[in-house]
């Protein structure tokens, strides 16, 4: 009787392994669900740099913030700060860092307004 | 009977385990992708990434950097993809500025490629030879690139921010004619724009008006037809006027001309307008 229970649980274990293998390896989420928020940090930093470059030219903060939403972050300042830190560590040029810091400063001025509820 | 019951409990265990495994791997702990490269993004996010590259290029005019960024997306036909996206974004009513940036980047990439492979193609564009039949060479396959961080730090020569090369320019109409040649297209307004040196000018915004409507399009969105080329499809019987947004005299009373083929069949001809920078 005990042997039957052991075999029963072994069968469950085999089934579970097969189910997990199918879900993780055979049928992973389609590429349509690959979002920019999952980009590697160097690519995310380059995205921030692109946005900072555009902002340096047009000074359009609304457009910059809208573009930052591409990275699907709830805190734009955090993602810019992360990019600045990355740039400092990996030797971005002074001009690039300056643009990102300028964007960071501009977004920080708006931070108190972001999240303010309208009555 | 006992033997059949014995194998049945094993099957039950297997099915139960399979259900547990599927629920766990698909619902409770599904696969999550991290540290993606841009090439693995969804098509919609790739479009957005491409648009960001274009607006950054519009700001810094650093073609080397833009090309390196585009290579990360691993598009098979880089400037074809850019040009197609520019047209699609215009058609979908998305940011005209981004659409123009996409078109301009496509055109500049094509021009750079033409200069690299055949200098005479890029410097040509004589006024007596419309570039309709010009076919630019295909881009070479993207090569392996270093990470974005390396690329970003390598370029220290940023030019002063410049939103557009065509702003504050004025143009004169050099030619206005109808052509009955089905090979050119049917019912089109074809616009060519050249700068004062005779080079085709991409990224020039063209405004077309008709009674109760207006649309805008740009040169350079079809680099295979010429960097200064743009076209617009007319509706039969509608009267259009065309001008360049950066400054030109308007061209009035454009209606799709009716042409007759050799076999007696009628079709809509095209208007060809050529603008030259003053």
Question: Starting from the edge strand earliest in sequence, which strands make up the sheet with B188-194, in order?
Answer: B171-179, B270-277, B188-194, B229-233
Residue of A19, A41, A87, A91 to mutate for B, most B C-beta atoms under 10 A: A19
- pLDDT for res B215: 84
Instruction: Say whether pTM exceeds 0.95.
Output: no
Q: Which fold has domain B171-277?
A: Immunoglobulin-like (2.60.40)
Write out the H or E segment, with its range, that includes residue B252: strand B251-254
For residue B143, the distance in angstroms to the closest alpha carbon of chain A comes to: 18
Answer with the residue of higher pLDDT: A74 or A79.
Answer: A79
Which residues of chain A have a CB within 8 Å of the CB of B9? Answer: 4, 7-8, 11
**Which residue does chain A place closest to B13, by CA atoms?**
A12
Block means of pLDDT (10 residues each) for chain B, 278 residues, are 67 93 89 85 92 95 93 88 86 84 86 61 35 32 36 33 46 88 86 84 83 82 76 89 85 88 86 89
How does DSSP classify residue B160? Answer: P
Give the ipTM of the model, two decimals please.
0.80
Asked if the C-beta of A70 comes within 8 angstroms of chain B's C-beta atoms, the answer is yes
Check CB contact of A72 with chain B, cutoff 8 Å.
no
State residue B115's pLDDT score.
67
**For helices A41-58 and B63-73, what crossing angle results, to 10°?**
140
Asked if B31 and A32 come within 8 Å (Cβ–Cβ), the reply is no
pLDDT of residue B158: 30
Please give the C-alpha separations between residue A109 and each of A33, A103, B199, in angstroms, as whole numbers: 33, 10, 44
- Where in chain B are the domains? 40-154, 171-277
């Amino acid at each position: 009787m005990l042997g039957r229970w052991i075999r029963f649980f072994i069968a469950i274990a085999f089934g579970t392994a097969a189910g997990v293998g199918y879900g993780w390896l055979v049928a992973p989420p389609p590429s349509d669900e690959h979002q920019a928020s999952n980009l590697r940090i160097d690519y995310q930093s380059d995205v921030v740099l692109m946005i900072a470059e555009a902002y340096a030219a047009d000074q359009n903060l609304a457009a910059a913030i809208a573009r930052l939403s591409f990275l699907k972050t709830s805190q734009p300042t955090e993602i810019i700060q992360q990019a600045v830190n990355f740039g400092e560590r990996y030797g971005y040029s002074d001009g690039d860092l300056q643009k990102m810091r300028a964007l960071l400063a501009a977004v920080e001025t708006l931070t108190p307004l972001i999240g303010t509820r309208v009555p | 009977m006992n033997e059949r019951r014995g194998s049945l409990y094993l099957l039950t265990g297997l099915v139960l385990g399979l259900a547990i495994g599927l629920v766990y791997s698909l619902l409770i702990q599904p696969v999550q992708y991290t540290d993606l490269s841009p090439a693995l993004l969804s098509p919609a996010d790739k479009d957005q990434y491409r648009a960001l590259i274009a607006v950054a290029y519009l700001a810094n005019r650093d073609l080397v950097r833009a090309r390196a960024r585009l290579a990360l997306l691993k598009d098979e036909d880089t400037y074809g993809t850019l040009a197609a996206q520019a047209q699609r974004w215009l058609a979908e009513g998305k940011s005209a500025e981004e659409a123009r940036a996409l078109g301009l980047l496509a055109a500049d990439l094509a021009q750079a490629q033409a200069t690299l492979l055949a200098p005479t193609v890029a410097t040509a564009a004589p006024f007596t030879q419309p570039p309709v039949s010009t076919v630019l060479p295909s881009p070479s396959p993207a090569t392996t690139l270093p990470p974005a961080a390396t690329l970003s730090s390598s370029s220290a020569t940023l030019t002063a921010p410049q939103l557009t090369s065509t702003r504050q320019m004025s143009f004169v109409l050099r030619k206005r004619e109808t052509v009955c040649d089905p090979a050119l297209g049917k019912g089109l307004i074809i616009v060519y724009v050249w700068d004062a040196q005779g080079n085709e000018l991409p990224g020039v915004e063209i405004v077309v008006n008709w009674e109760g409507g207006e649309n805008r399009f740009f040169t350079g969105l079809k680099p295979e037809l010429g960097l200064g080329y743009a076209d617009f499809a007319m509706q039969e019987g509608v009267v259009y006027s065309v001008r360049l947004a950066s400054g030109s005299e308007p061209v009035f009373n454009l209606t799709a001309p009716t042409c007759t083929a050799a076999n007696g069949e009628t079709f809509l001809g095209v208007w060809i307008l050529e603008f030259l920078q003053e």
